[in-house]
Structure 1
């Protein structure tokens, strides 16, 4: 990993000297933390150390980014969100009320023009999903426009120049802690992370430790299936629940594999990633009729688990997905 260097990131606009009152969604309590308009902190952006000033007009891309902000009580710092149509409706989110308080900016992919036009002072997204060399919106480009950026740690392992490797759930915790530092709500971030860790440990305590049921995650694809490698949250979800992703050894994020490799893995459960482009039931119907997959143990025994899109990408709802999948596994035990 290259040695991180310091890059100052200036912002459009300034923070006010108000007191931010943060609603604790889990227990209904409140925490008051002062926001210093001149406050600046050094926080890692993947493997690079960057100076941040407190943002007031953040633009967030997809549910995972928005949920991280809302979970930290930072709704007042979010100007708006970009939500491509494949994402489930925000009305289904645990933070639906928070989405209603900020502006819906676009149902297209993240782009530089939108960020500039909205006078954003922070963009929160993943590398390769929101941020993209091909689409001309990268942290480096935004630095040149004096717009701060935050990359999901889970997506940093192939970030050019400044990669960072971590397991997906640890990446989630790291993001919450880093955002806590950027916005001066470290105590709130610590509380949220501790709560998530406790929920994960509660699930792991219920596993046998020996039942490594083989699981295949099916995202999409007919000629070649698209699935989850080691570097994305579903692999941790499957593992922490006590099972095994048959592609957990693939050192990648979301990736294509062969149907032959799926058959070789003999999955006893298939996790269907559910999002707007194609209903989960259509994917299940395909697997039941496709000659290569219809005799797989999971298909023969009708063992399909539907994982919501926002439970599968990096975000607080990963914990919900883990609890649900662990419950499904327990329901299969004799």
Structure 2
């Protein structure tokens, strides 16, 4: 049964940007953000580092998860634009499609320093080693030196150099909404969102099957598969829905494993991550024909569940992915 989806760093508190323009009261999709003469500031953790933020006006968001968090908080008026690499499915399929249409599409490339400088960003929202990158020369430390504020997804902080922070992926989502709510002064909106998400998660947990089926998430790769380890949302999705990620013991985010390890795990369900540029149907066809996987229990029984890319990265849509996968597990014959 295959289911397809409908300055220099220190440990001290610092102010990252200068005072902003004149006094404003902005309304963004029901969220009011108050700032008096640009003087409002708040100290919020950026991973394990205490950082002082002033209210941003020109946010650049990298990937759907970053933009979705801001849109869910009603902060569309503060979002200047978004960078969306080809892996991300079209934003027209997002629950916040109307919000995407109100802001600028900046690039379909990877995040880079030149772009955020050219766009005069005053906050960049991304993950560590997914948007921010030492190799590509765009890190929070580099942006600090340019007077550009930055915010990292908490689920990506477990190996952030110098200031790591370790939480479960869903707790990372809740933490991000809380911290962004404090940065923009919409704490009540953030608290309401988190409360609602927790209630939905608990409703799923209460219905989870007692038998935990082994689950393998297939992201990509033919020579070696790329999969979800402990530190990314699909592991929480699998666990909360009543399954068991066969690679949950790996202390990593997205990682390569061997086909031999997949075979040893004998997954009874395979989650296939659906990219914009790597369709799930092609991946399923590969797994059905590949000698190492065609006799796995999940493949023989055609137990494939397709997870949308934006339900698998840190995003409010993780909750949607959880509910869908939980319904899929409950519907399997026992």
TM-score, length basis structure 2: 0.95
Q: Does 1:14 align with 2:20?
A: yes
Instruction: Give the secondary structure class of the aligned counterpart of 2:121.
Output: coil
**C-alpha separation in 2, matches of 1:148 and 1:274:** 32
The aligned counterpart of 1:83 is 84
1:265-290 per-residue CA deviation (whole Å, 9 max, x = no partner) reads 00000000010221101100100000
**C-alpha separation in 2, matches of 1:223 and 1:248:** 21
The aligned counterpart of 2:5 is none
**C-alpha separation in 1, matches of 2:91 and 2:21:** 27
The aligned counterpart of 1:183 is 184
**C-alpha separation in 2, matches of 1:191 and 1:86:** 31
The aligned counterpart of 1:263 is 263
Instruction: Point out where structure 2 has 5 or more consecutive residues left out of the alignment.
Output: 1-9
Which structure ranks higher in relative contact order (CA pairs < 8 Å, sequence separation ≥ 6)?
2
The aligned counterpart of 1:104 is 105
Counting only pairs closer than 5 Å after superposition, residues 64-143 of structure 1 correspond to structure 2 as: 64-143=65-144
**C-alpha separation in 1, matches of 2:195 and 2:28:** 17
The aligned counterpart of 2:331 is 331
The aligned counterpart of 1:319 is 319
**C-alpha separation in 1, matches of 2:158 and 2:321:** 23
**C-alpha separation in 1, matches of 2:269 and 2:242:** 12
Instruction: Give the secondary structure class of the aligned counterpart of 1:205.
Output: helix
When the two chains are superposed, the root-mean-square deviation of aligned CA atoms in Å is 1.3
Preserved contact between residue 44 and residue 183 of structure 2 (Cα < 8 Å): yes
**C-alpha separation in 1, matches of 2:195 and 2:178:** 11
Preserved contact between residue 220 and residue 283 of structure 1 (Cα < 8 Å): yes
Moved over 3 A (4+): 30-33
Aligned length: 324
The 1:165/1:4 distance shift into structure 2, 3 A limit, reads farther
The aligned counterpart of 1:38 is 39
The aligned counterpart of 1:248 is 248
- Judge which range, 289-298 or 34-43, deviates more: 34-43
**C-alpha separation in 1, matches of 2:70 and 2:308:** 19
Instruction: Give the secondary structure class of the aligned counterpart of 2:270.
Output: strand
Preserved contact between residue 4 and residue 49 of structure 1 (Cα < 8 Å): yes
Q: Displacement, 1:6?
A: 1.7
Q: Displacement, 1:31?
A: 5.1
Preserved contact between residue 48 and residue 163 of structure 2 (Cα < 8 Å): yes
1:213-247 per-residue CA deviation (whole Å, 9 max, x = no partner) reads 00000000111100000000000000000000000
Instruction: Point out where structure 1 has 5 or more consecutive residues left out of the alignment.
Output: 24-29
Preserved contact between residue 15 and residue 56 of structure 1 (Cα < 8 Å): no
Instruction: Give the secondary structure class of the aligned counterpart of 2:181.
Output: helix
The aligned counterpart of 2:4 is none
Q: Displacement, 1:22?
A: 4.3
1:292-311 per-residue CA deviation (whole Å, 9 max, x = no partner) reads 10000000000000000000
The aligned counterpart of 2:172 is 171
**C-alpha separation in 2, matches of 1:327 and 1:65:** 26
**C-alpha separation in 2, matches of 1:203 and 1:126:** 27
